[in-house]
Amino acid sequence: MSDLLASHPPDSRPVLLSRETAPPTGYIAETIFAAVKEAHALVDDLAAAAEPVSLPLEAARRSLFVAESRWWSRSGVSPKEASAGLGYAVDAGAIAEGELEKIDLPRVADGLNLGREGELKVVAENGTDYDVTAELRLSGEGLDFPQGEVVHVELAPGGNEIAVPVRGEESSEVRAALLAGDTVLGEAVGRLRFVTLANVLPWTILAIAVIGGVVLALLYRRQRRRRRPA
């Protein structure tokens, strides 16, 4: 495949500026069209996350632009030339997918919050060498997210800790997913516990009752000892 791509450089054929306007017919054309469609989705998702001037995105777009030409599916095209066009589509998808795989959501930190309001801490990893934008989608039974269940986050290269305001009343499981376009970059699950008067009061009353019972029992025993005849 690399030999075919090298022998058909994208800047050597002005005819490649002619784009496909309708789904092609025929086995070769349909195969290339399917590959281009798949690559297009990945490149679009990378474009949603990456900076417009990032080199990988530019490279993926360049290959995709070449792959979209109807030159590769024209009447009488040879299998060798069609394979070169398919190679550009595969190359575009591979570049985009490779960059997206460098971004991950490895962990949602378990947390203990005093009161009904607190923070959810999410750890995201950006293995690229440029800033990326992603969507953080959150869900959890009994939890309320003041910023919404979808939060747009900026991730610098390396590790990133994201703090998201959250409200709750008791122990709850929280799920987080990091997305670029339609691509799920990573998913993680954590647990949040909220210590409030409502869930502490019953245990406090019980503790007071137990301690009070023990104290009364000790006082009763001491009083009985004092009343015993000599």
pLDDT per 10-residue tile (average), the chain, 230 residues: 49 42 69 92 95 91 92 83 91 96 94 81 95 95 92 96 90 93 95 69 52 59 60
pTM of the model: 0.73
pLDDT score for 203: 46
Q: What is the CATH number of domain 103-195?
A: 2.60.40.10
Domain boundaries, the chain: 2-100, 103-195, 196-230
Longest dimension (CA), the chain: 123
Measure the CA–CA gap between 108 and 71, rounded to whole angstroms: 48
pLDDT score for 13: 40
Cα angle 62, 63, 67; round to 5 = 120
Measure the CA–CA gap between 27 and 46, rounded to whole angstroms: 29
Report the half-sphere exposure of 206 (CA within 13 A, side-chain side).
Answer: 5
Measure the CA–CA gap between 211 and 153, rounded to whole angstroms: 50
State which amino acid sits at residue 25: T
Length of the chain as a residue count: 230
Q: Which of 118, 196, 133 is nearest to 163 (CA)?
A: 118
Q: Strand, coil or helix: what is 99?
A: helix
pLDDT score for 214: 58
pLDDT score for 92: 96
